[in-house]
Each structure stands twice: as C-alpha cells, then as structure tokens.
Chain A
Amino acid sequence: MVSDMGYAGVKKRIKALFSPSSTEAELDVLQESFRNRYQSFRALLTANNNALEIMAEMEQALVLGQPFGMAFVRGHCTAVSVNVYKMIQSLEVLSDGKYNGLFSSFRDISEKMEEILARQPEVPEGRLVVPLSEVGKDDADLVGDKMANLGEVRNRVGLRVPEGFVITATATQRFMRASGLQDEINRLLKQLDLDDLESLYSTSAQIQKLISFAPIPQQLVQQIEEHYELLYSAGEPRPHISMRSSAMEEDKSNVSFAGQYRTQLNISEDFILQTYKDIVASKYQSQAIIYRNQRGFRHQDVIMCVGCMTMVDAVVSGVMFSRSPRNPRSRWVEINAAHGLASQVVVGSIDTDFYKVEREIPNEIVQQDAAGSSPILSADRLRELAAIAARLEEHFGVPQDIEWSIDRNGDVIILQSRPLAQPQVAEAATDEQMSANHGDSALLSGGLTASTGVASGPVFVVRSNVDLLEFPIGAVLVVEHSLPEWASLLNRAVAVISEKGHVATHLAIVAREFGIPAIFGLSGAARKLENGVVVTVDATGRCVYSGRNEEILKRTAPRPNLMADSPVYLLLTEIMSLVVPLNLTDPGSPYFKSTLCKTLHDVTRFCHEKAVTEMFSFGEKARFDARSAKQLGGDIPFQWWVIDLDDGFRQSFDTHGKYVHMQDIVSEPMLAIWEGMTAKPWKGPPPLSLKGFGSVLFRSTMNPSLEPSVGTSMGTKNYFLISKNFCNLSMRLGYHFTLAEAYLGSHLTENYVSFQFRGGAADRSRRFVRVFLLRDILEKFGFRVEVKHDSLTARIEKKEKEKLIEGLKVLGYLLIHTRQIDMAMGEQDMVDHYRQSITVDLESILSPDAVAG
C-alpha cells in the first residue's frame, strides 16, 4: 500500500503534468500513476467479486434451510465486511480520497451488524431458587420452559406433580460467571468442526468436565440446601430427588429438545450440588450441540435451569400424546405404559404397552397392544389418563406430550407436559399409508412408524460409541435400542431403524422433527442388516427393501426447513437487512451519494460505480497518452468509444489516429461481447401496436431524463473501458441503460461477468415482462439473476474463462436484440415469439456445452 504522503506527492505532480510544459520524465510518472490506479481498480473489482459471492452465500443459507450456526454467520459477516472495506480502501486510492464519506457510512453499517452479533439473551435478575408452588407458565424466562409448564400444571390446572423447587437461570448465570469458564468454552466451540465426530465428542467431554469441576458460589449452595430442607418434615427420612434439566428455549411447539439434556433420578442429598453442575454441563452434550446447530439456536441463548423434585414411588409410568404425533387430526390419545419409572419409557430401554383411547367421553379404547401377557392399565385408568391429556391440551391450547407416573397410592402424577412436535397437516401420513405394508418383497417388515417417510442409503449398525465415530454421512442408522444419545447422528443419517423402542421415545421425537424416516421395534434388524449394504427404508409402510427402490423413493417428502424462524435464522435475517438491499440503483440520481449508503451492497455499488467513473475520466483526461481514448472505427452500428486502461490494444497499434478498429483490440472480454453483438443481424424494432407506441410517448413526456439527448457526461456515449482481461461496456441506447462488465484472467477468484439492465420506453408492465424474459434467458445460461422493479442485475463469478466468454456472447446478443422489444411485450404471443427466437439464435451462436449448462 502507498502512504497518504505518497499520494499527495503524486497528485501534485499529476497536476503539474497537465500544464503544457510537461517533460517526458514527468509523463512517465503520470503513466505510472495510471498503472497504480489500474491496479487498485483491479483489486476493487476482485473485492467486489468476493463480497457479492459471500452475500449470495448468506442469502442461499436463508433460502435452502440447511443448518448453519453462529460460526457461519460471524465468519460471513467478517468476510463480507472485510471485502467491502477493501473496496473503500481501493476507491480511496483511485480517487485521491474524494469519497471519504464512505468510511463513516461503512462504520455505521458495520457497527450495527456488530451490535446484532454481540446481542446477549436477557436474563431477568430474579431469585436463585424458586419453589414449584410459585411457578407458572409466564416464568419460563426464569425457570425454563419445562418447569414453567409443570408449575402451571400444578398451580393452574390443579393436577398432581411432585413437590420441589427450581434452580433458576439467574443462578446458573451466576455460577457460570463465577467460574470464569465462558471465554474458554466459547473458544473451544469456535474451533469445533461439527463434521468431525471425534472433535465433537472430545470438545463436548472437555467442556462438560470444565463445568463439572467448577465451584458453585456459596450463596447458591446455601439456597439450594434451604429449599431441599423444605421438602421433608422433621423426623422423616431425607428424600432422594429427581433432577431435571429445564432449559430456556426448550419445549416450544416446533422444537422439542427432547432428550438433549440430562435428567438424573434418585439423587441423595450429598450429590445434589454435583448433579446440578452435571446437568448444567449437559448443555454441551454432543447431541445437544448438534441439535442446536440443526435447529438454529445459539449456545448462549440456552441457559440451563434445573428442576429438583421428590422421587415418585412409581408403580406404572408412561408417556402419552393428546393426539397422534404423526397425524394432528387424530381423535384419540396415544398412551405408552410400562412398570416402573417413566424415564425407562422415554429412553426406549424397555418394551411398553400401547393404547389408543378416544379423546371424547366416553373415551372408548380404540387399540390395546400389551407388551406382556396382560395389559398394565385398566380401562378406567385409560379413561382417566385420556381425560387428563385432553384437559392439558385444552389448557395449553396445543397438543401435548405428557410424562406421567402412578404412585403406590394409585394417584396419577404428572412429570412433564410439553407441546407435541407434529408434522404439518399436509405432510401427515394417512392411516391407509401407514398400513400399506408390502411385506412380500421386503427384506424386513413390521415394527412401528416412529417417523414417516422414505429414504435410501447404506446400512450402518451402531452398537457402541466407537461405532458412532465411524458413522458415514448419508447412511441408514441401525441400532438395538432407541437411546437419546444416537440423536447426535441424526444430522448424518438418512433413516433410522431400531430393534426396540416406540414412538414416544426422545429419539423418535427428534427424528420426526428432523423429518428423518424411522422404524422402531423392528426386531432382528441389527443382526439381519449388514454394514454397507444399500437398503430403502419405507418407514410409513414399515418395510425395508434391498437396494435403491426408485418406485418407493418417489414418495420422498421435502426435508423440513428446520432453521426457519429459529433464533440464528432470525439473527441472520436481521443482519441481512444491513447487507443485501440495494437502495442506490441509479447513478444519475441525486441520491446516489456515499453518505446515503445504508447497506454493504449499497457501498459495493457506490464504490464500483465511482471506480469506473474515475478510471473513465482519468483515461479520458489522459490525452498525454495517445493510446488511451479512441473512437471505434469501421462499418459498425452506433458510435462507440474505447478507452484502454492498460493493454487492451494490440502492441503494434499506431496510436496517433483518432480511431481504433476491431482488429486492433485484444481485450478478450470485449471481443466476446462484440462477437455476441454482431453474430446475428438486428431485425429492426418490433412492430408497434398503437397502444405500445402510446405508452412510449407517455413515458417520454413524464420523464424527460430518459431522452437520449439529455444524458449525464458518461451517459451520452457508449463506451468500452478495456484491458486485455477486462472490459466494462456502458451503453445508453434510447431509453435503456445497460452495463456489462467482465474480468477474464487465469485466476478463477478474479473472474466474473456482470450485467445491469434498467429502463425501457414502454409502460411498467411491458418493461417488467421484458425483465422477466431476460431473467429466464440469463438463468438458463448460468447467471445468478436479481430483479428489482424494472431493473435487473445478473452475475457469474469464479468460473473458467471459457464459460464466461460464452456468457459474454449471450450478453452481447441480448444487448442488441432485446433493446426495443419492451414495446412488444403487451401480448403473450409476442413474448413467446421472442423467447423462442432468442433461444434459437443463442443456441446457434454458442458452443453446445454452454447451451446445456
């Protein structure tokens, strides 16, 4: 980089040079200054190329719905702003500091972006520990969603829940602050590569260990102990408690976080503090890290609260859904039940009874599948449970997923009630589909549909954590038990088959959420299916077929956009409002100012426009260099000026004349555009209907600036600004303003073709139709196209020279052949006619590869 002093010096010398007494030596200096500018210009173009590519990647992330985390958002924000900044730096050099107002506009935008990136979740300064008897739904920001809901069940619905208390978000935040670990944790997470399972598991273990060894602040220790004391009366034995994670942002209707965090049962007094830390640490379990990434949650948005409740001496426990999780319109409650604790049911470690009970009185029993010799639950009990499910759904307003136990006194106790994750109605499977079991030709059939859908991939059986590390992307996960920890593979697996387990397990819930087909309870699967063998899983019809079964795979449903409306998605959307919208579209407008740049895109647009103007005027001014500005001579349509920035004219070209001819031009992109322009003769203006012509007249009277004779200094001429690798073509023909630009070098990073098109003489609707026609054609030839009102921008970047040359020929052709067709865009026949004739022409001009691409 050259210092400011250096520039001031050069500037002084240049001024002196324009006096008639310039010497040869001084002219050399000027020539050198011109070269320096050209180099800054090229750096600006490359930074522009990079910035626009990064912006496109950010936009794509929002559209595609592929998971992305904060690392993606931060990395891209930095990369895009660095490139935009480089453009400003380059323009500064090019223009001798003429546009330094850009720095403050850029600073305003980047500061706003940083502010959004640095935003922290708001945690209320509340109590450290709160008894469950004082908790309701509105306390979710203090006690987490799970405990807030349970408090609601106890205090507002009036159902029985275990007695207990919650260690709040305020407490956990204090604990983490006192530990001083957050910076180290953030550093470890930033370096984490989610595609590398080994790094995932080791980072996860490392972070959990750090938290588990940190001391708890004394004030919190004291309050936990005090609240524990309240759980029993004098003389009674000190109770064991269950400790449950209750994270912020958990248990929303579309994000379950099912089984992502730890729940510990039967904790004696001595282990409460350690267990608290372990549960806080479980925020960083590998499956939870993956889950947050898939669902667009920032790690810092999730603050762990911990519910501490007396143990229920459970005789029977289970999970029930107030409606079918696969069909939101179902009229029955689904109940899973087993002897003992509810936790065994949700992790899928035991076989359960399954019941379907009508939601409405008299709550008829629709289905009853006992795991053992006789059903565990009586008809009365089933009716009682179904009524509870319906009541909870009514209270919370959405279908519920409920964990319950029945204690030795025969009382039903609710352990959890959260919104049930369900597919959209359109995606819900019908009962007919569910029973469409084509067992004959199948390798395996039976089991339960834990998550509907079809998929195909090679089998990979996971029995241990070692297998876990080897799990390939795109494989069918086959396991014996549907344990929640296998959820860390659900971003890699295309389908899940489990020998045990049922639809109420956490793994099933997450599979449904991720839209991954899953069959559970398919006995013998792990033994019968061999690693590496490709199978097709039809989870809806509960069959596994050998090989890829294309007929069945036709039914593959699109993957749900798991990111939409997640915190990270919304954050990126907010940031994009400072990056992408283009407000500075018309360089001729008085509002085209550096101080009016509102987005990074505006800054790039402004820098690019001014850089071209600077190069243009410097080249035009530089009469000292006889090579630089010439009129294009020969028998050609329109008048063209050509300004050579560096090496765009043939070396042997005689520089003394006023004209330059095509045979003296060696600029590859200009030659390509020219080839496209002249490949086919122009058929003349389209036949005008009176209506079309009327609209042109009307527009002329409304907007005199569109008169070709009233242009800006650059607007009055058509010119090519060229070097051997570069060409910028600015064209104002009639009412249209067009800009085509390209750099074709040996480095892909620098290469691009861009195109801007605006205006037209006809009325709005005709101009719009033409812009859409252009869009369709350009997209067909590999351009990324954006349309705003009647203006269009198109771009291809970082591609091989050969491909870009074809793109330039397309542009050259379109420049000539579409300039007046807007007037004919009133009738669909004409639109179709032009679409057809343009396509035929282009196909004859281009190489067959380009047409196919």
Chain B
Amino acid sequence: MERKINILLVDDEIDFLEITAKRLARRGYEVKTASSCSEGLKVFEASPVDVVVLDVMLPDTDGIHCLKEIKKMFPSTAVILLTGHASMEAGLECMDSGASDYCLKPVEFDELVDRIEIVYRDMNSQGSCSS
C-alpha cells in the first residue's frame, strides 16, 4: 500500500463502530468514527477522507442526506453504504446520489476491507482518467 487509505465510519451501533475501527486500524488504515450523521459531517468537514462507510439508518437524519452532503463537498470521496434495512427506494436513491457500493449488514470483515480497497482503487483510477 503506497499510502494509508483514510476511512470514516459512520454508524450508530457503537459496538460495531468500535470493533470495526479497531480491526481496520490493525490492517493499516487511518480510521475516524462518528455515531451520527451530524457528527460524521463535522468530522468529514474538518478533514476529508478517501472512503466513507455509512449506515443508511442514522438516528438524527438519514444517511442519504449525509451521503449527499459528502458528495457535494468532495465528489471524489467514495461512499460505501452499509446497512441491513434500507428500503429499495432509499437504496436506489443512494446509487443515484453517487454511492460507490452498497453492502448488506452483517458483512464479513474481509469482504468490507475488499470493498473499501475496490472503491478506493476505482475512485483513484477514475480521477486520473477523467479530464
């Protein structure tokens, strides 16, 4: 890995958040966490990241809003949605709003790592290609 991938995890399930952050850090990623949409946006604004892993059902306002705000600020940030129970409508809206991937919870940790690597790679190669 040439440089550490910066990841922001936004999820209101604190246990999941902490464990996943720890495991990702152990794999060599730079990880930030937030347990709500507003907190996530604040963290992101302060220092943008390469990849955001976002739960769609956040308590304060939903993840779709969070996704749109992030894409507005930094279109080149890859956003992976990670959720067990978004409606089909919400899922499709996320794809229209520029989400890179959609992951069904519970997800195997290795698969999550895989998906982070893939969206990061694709985002980067796209950046280098587009004019």
Shortest CB distance B70–A (Å): 14
Residues of B near A6 (CB, < 8 A) are: 130-131
Query: Are A54 and B104 in touch, CB under 8 angstroms?
Result: yes
Query: Are A86 and B95 in touch, CB under 8 angstroms?
Result: yes
In this assembly, does A299 line the interface, its C-beta being within 8 Å of a C-beta of chain B? Answer: no
Residues of A near B45 (CB, < 8 A) are: none
Shortest CB distance A53–B (Å): 10
Q: Which of B87, B91, B105, B130 contacts A36 (CB 8 A)?
A: B130
Q: Which of A36, A82, A85, A749 contacts B115 (CB 8 A)?
A: A749
In this assembly, does A32 line the interface, its C-beta being within 8 Å of a C-beta of chain B? Answer: yes
**DSSP class of A's interface residues: helix, strand, loop or mixed?**
helix
Shortest CB distance B87–A (Å): 7
Q: Which of A2, A39, A77 contacts B122 (CB 8 A)?
A: A39
A74-B85 CB under 8 A given contacts A32-B129, A82-B91: yes
Residues of B near A749 (CB, < 8 A) are: 111, 114-115, 118
A82-B92 CB under 8 A given contacts A747-B114, A748-B111, A750-B118: yes
In this assembly, does B28 line the interface, its C-beta being within 8 Å of a C-beta of chain A? Answer: no
Residues of B near A114 (CB, < 8 A) are: 87-89
Interface residues on B, range: 20 to 34
Residues of A near B84 (CB, < 8 A) are: 71, 75, 190
Query: Are A77 and B129 in touch, CB under 8 angstroms?
Result: no
Query: Are A78 and B118 in touch, CB under 8 angstroms?
Result: no
Query: Are A190 and B92 in touch, CB under 8 angstroms?
Result: no
Query: Are A85 and B104 in touch, CB under 8 angstroms?
Result: no
In this assembly, does A677 line the interface, its C-beta being within 8 Å of a C-beta of chain B? Answer: no
Query: Are A43 and B129 in touch, CB under 8 angstroms?
Result: no
Per the bound structure, the CA–CA distance linking A836 and B102 in Å amounts to 45
A81-B126 CB under 8 A given contacts A46-B118, A75-B104, A749-B115: no
Query: Are A74 and B87 in touch, CB under 8 angstroms?
Result: yes
In this assembly, does A852 line the interface, its C-beta being within 8 Å of a C-beta of chain B? Answer: no
Which residues 95-131 of B sit at the A interface, judged by CB distance below 8 A? 95, 98, 102-105, 110-111, 114-115, 117-118, 122, 125-126, 129-131
Query: Are A190 and B87 in touch, CB under 8 angstroms?
Result: no
Per the bound structure, the CA–CA distance linking A2 and B98 in Å amounts to 10
Query: Are B102 and A82 in touch, CB under 8 angstroms?
Result: yes
In this assembly, does A35 line the interface, its C-beta being within 8 Å of a C-beta of chain B? Answer: yes
Which chain A residue shows the least CB distance to B98? A1
In this assembly, does B94 line the interface, its C-beta being within 8 Å of a C-beta of chain A? Answer: yes
In this assembly, does A62 line the interface, its C-beta being within 8 Å of a C-beta of chain B? Answer: no
Provide the A650-679 mask, 1 if CB < 8 A to any CB of B, else 0: 000000000000000000000000000000
Query: Are B95 and A89 in touch, CB under 8 angstroms?
Result: yes
Residues of A near B5 (CB, < 8 A) are: none
A747-B118 CB under 8 A given contacts A71-B84, A83-B102: yes
Query: Are A85 and B85 in touch, CB under 8 angstroms?
Result: no
A76-B104 CB under 8 A given contacts A43-B122, A747-B117, A749-B111: yes
In this assembly, does B17 line the interface, its C-beta being within 8 Å of a C-beta of chain A? Answer: no
Provide the A732-756 mask, 1 if CB < 8 A to any CB of B, else 0: 0000000000000001111000000
6 contacts between A and B (CB under 8 A): A39-B125, A81-B91, A117-B88, A749-B111, A750-B114, A798-B111
Which residues from chain B sit less than 8 Å from chain A, CB to CB? 57, 83-92, 94-95, 98, 102-105, 110-111, 114-115, 117-118, 122, 125-126, 129-131
